[in-house]
Amino acid sequence: MGSCDYIIENGILKKYVGAGGNIVIPDGIRKIGERAFMDHTKITGIIFPKGLTEIGDWAFSGCTGITDIVLPEGVAAIGGRAFDNCRNLKTIAFPASISLLGSGLFTRCRSINRLSFSQDNPQFCSDGNCIIDKETNTLLMGCSSSTIPNYVKKIASFAFDSCEEVMKINIPQSVEKIDAKAFIDCTGLTSITIPSSIREIGFCAFMDCSGLEQISVAENNPRYHSNGNCLIESATSTVLVGCKNSIIPDYISCIGCRAFENCEELTNISIPDSVTNIEFEAFRNCKKLNNVILPDKLKSIGNCAFMNCVELSEITIPASVTSLGNFAFAFCTKLKTVTILDGLSSISYHAFGGCTELERITIPDSVTHIRRYAFIDCKALASITIPSNITNIETKSFDGEETSKSYPYIPSNAPSIESHAFKGCPKLNTIIISKNVAHIDKKSFGKRRTIHTPAGSYAAQYAKENNIPFVAE
């Protein structure tokens, strides 16, 4: 291994171009630049040079062959995600000279079991096999063998990221705040107990903890409580975290963002009548969820709320719903029947896109707008009823249905049919278009269609100019 394995400029190692193995970084390097070793999976070990003071952002990200790291004395700063996705990394030793640790330093490092800091470091320590900021008593990073010390006040974002072997975490009474995504992707975690001291739980603090079975909160916590194996924000009656054993209480008003996301063992859920909002990605990737009845007082369904719930076979959207998010039911590949009751005004972007077994959709008179890709790749769609109040059918709204058979009527107050709106419906042979339609994009239908429209209308002229068969009504 020679100097030709490295691109070096003014003491900064810009790029490693060698073959991997156990590498020895040459002397004279004071900084390892951003992404210098990124995704070099064949590197199995690193010896760092004396004089090194800084490691840049993402420097060793994706170096999956590395198992142990010993940083030399003199290193003062390590950039954000410097060792991200080093998934076979087991041990890290930090010197006394470290004064700055970037965020997400060891995200997706699933195998770490030992963290150690020099006892001479004035700012950080490794009590309980955790990395802790002494000044703020913030736990910056934990691992599968960590025990949270009873003086820690805050658990930082990504602190236990991807600690798959953690089954239970004892959060001491000293902890007041859990930051966003602190326990993200702890798939082995089966139970959570929130002490009474907790005053703030950040966004998606327990995101993708798919193995959760039990959730509890100390009775005297002033901000949160548990009921039915749900973690609930008391002031807003919002479910923040659910699990496969959850029963949503009948006073809940909101199912929070990502509350049940990736809860792959959840098969059915009863949503009580009190719920008015289901926030974005609330049930995304619940791949065994096969039965959902939406309550009659529900007002909004957020973006991707039920996306990729591949076992859902039917859904009725109640008349109370006025907002349907983008991708709300996208890629629910076994969804066959959708009934939208009168109330919704717009079918959003990609709302049912990729529902490849969808056969029947009932669109109510309240709907005036079908947005782009709303039903794209719904290849089994056999019945489309487009109501008289539609004013706009956007680009590729129905593109991709390979077996559609219905004869949709484009009503008189729909002034525009945009690009690819029905182009991907090869078995949709007949389109009935009213005389008031004033614009049809050249790519709306393709050429294997017969247009039925009054003689002298814009649609008749469109058919003639584009060599599309035309029947005067």
- 46-93 tens-digit pLDDT: 999 999 999 999 999 999 999 999 999 999 999 999 999 999 999 999
Write down the pLDDT at residue 378: 83
Of residues 422 and 260, more confidence is placed in: 260
pLDDT higher than 90, residue 154: yes
The mean pLDDT value for 293-320 works out to: 96
Residue 427 CA to residue 407 CA, distance in Å, equals 10
Sheet holding 409-410, edge to edge: 409-410, 430-433, 450-453, 470-472
pLDDT higher than 70, residue 207: yes
Write down the pLDDT at residue 403: 39
Over residues 15-47, the pLDDT tens digits come to 999 999 999 999 999 999 999 999 999 999 999
- In the structure, what pLDDT confidence band is assigned to residue 308 with cuts at 50, 70 and 90? very high
Long-range pairs for 67-70: beta carbons < 8 A, 24 or more residues apart: 67/91, 67/111, 68/92, 69/93
The mean pLDDT value for 346-375 works out to: 89
Write down the pLDDT at residue 133: 96
Of residues 418 and 232, more confidence is placed in: 232
- In the structure, what pLDDT confidence band is assigned to residue 404 with cuts at 50, 70 and 90? very low
- In the structure, what pLDDT confidence band is assigned to residue 363 with cuts at 50, 70 and 90? confident
pLDDT higher than 60, residue 411: no
pLDDT higher than 50, residue 1: no
Write down the pLDDT at residue 415: 59
Write down the pLDDT at residue 303: 98
- In the structure, what pLDDT confidence band is assigned to residue 364 with cuts at 50, 70 and 90? confident
Write down the pLDDT at residue 390: 76
